[in-house]
Structure 1
Amino acid sequence: MKRKSEFKEQCSNCEQGYRVVEEIQISREKRKFECEECGHLIKKWNGSVDYIFYKI
């Protein structure tokens, strides 16, 4: 895995903040991330990039 970028994302429902690391993957990833506080869908993806969310 190779780190591509890092950015911040915020839940549009409860405003919980997340630090997000975007990484290039060899295989395709089909996943989604829901807010750990309220369950609101924050991001959905399907491709050769994966996202790791850290609560801030």
Structure 2
Amino acid sequence: MKKILYRGGLLQFKIPENDVEEYDEIEGATFYEDGPYTGTVRLNVITLEKPGGSVAER
């Protein structure tokens, strides 16, 4: 297994050593085993910030 540190460690996980890794700044990342009838993991992280930078009180 190989360790993935997505976006500098924001998310950490392991995938099989032979899996293919594809990264795109807009689309995120894709991980899959190269072959027919295999699964694919697609990952994208969205960061949102409230204007003013703080959380509103209720």
If the length of structure 1 is used for normalisation, what is the TM-score?
0.30
Q: Which has the higher helix share?
A: 2
With a CA cutoff of 8 Å and minimum separation of 6, indicate the structure with the bigger relative contact order: 1
Q: Which has the larger radius of gyration?
A: 2
Normalised TM-score (structure 2): 0.29
Higher strand fraction (1 or 2): 1
